[in-house]
């Protein structure tokens, strides 16, 4: 996520700070900081943003062994405005992202067998049919 350094509309901002964002990564990092074993499964692009995500998660002791690197599709990102009151403006750039190409064939059964819990948001269900199918498969597997 690129967060505006100053309040204002996104199209008027000249400087942003790069941060890791997303409920899934926040929960994984929080659990790891509590000393619990946590992991994050997704697909990132073979680009600077993908490297950034992997490095930040590694630095937080989050298991990234089920993170795939996509040679063809970029890592998704978002822009977020800074506000002094009210809700910030957010623009997402996830369509066609590496994560939107996560598919059932990418499912690592051995990785999921080691988990006792699964935290999932609605994002995989929303970004593509392929990601939705993967998410449903993961949920079904974990329920068993």
Cβ(43)–Cβ(99) below 8 Å: yes
In order along its 144 residues, the chain shows pLDDT tens digits of 999 999 999 999 999 999 999 899 999 999 999 999 999 999 999 999 999 999 999 999 999 999 999 999 999 999 999 999 999 999 999 999 999 999 999 999 999 999 999 999 888 888 999 999 999 999 999 999
The CATH number assigned to the domain with range 2-143 reads 3.40.1190.20
CB atoms within 10 A of CB 93: 13
Sorted by where each begins, the domain ranges of the chain are: 2-143
Cβ(141)–Cβ(113) below 8 Å: no
| Of residues 100, 78, 102, 99, the one with CA closest to residue 89 | 78
* pTM score of the predicted model: 0.90
């Amino acid at each position: 996520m690129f967060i505006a350094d100053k309040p204002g509309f996104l199209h008027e901002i000249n400087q942003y700070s790069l941060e890791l964002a997303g409920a899934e990564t926040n929960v994984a990092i929080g659990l790891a900081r509590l000393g619990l074993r946590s992991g994050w499964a997704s697909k990132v692009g073979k680009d600077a943003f993908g490297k950034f995500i992997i490095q930040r998660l590694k630095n937080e002791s989050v298991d990234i062994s089920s993170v795939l690197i996509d040679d063809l599709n970029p890592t998704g990102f978002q822009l977020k405005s800074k506000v002094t009151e009210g809700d910030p403006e957010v623009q997402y750039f996830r369509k066609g992202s590496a994560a939107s190409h996560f598919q059932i064939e990418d499912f690592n059964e051995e990785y999921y067998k080691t988990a006792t819990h699964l935290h999932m948001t609605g994002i995989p269900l929303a970004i593509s049919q392929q990601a939705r199918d993967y998410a449903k498969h993961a949920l079904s597997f974990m329920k068993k």
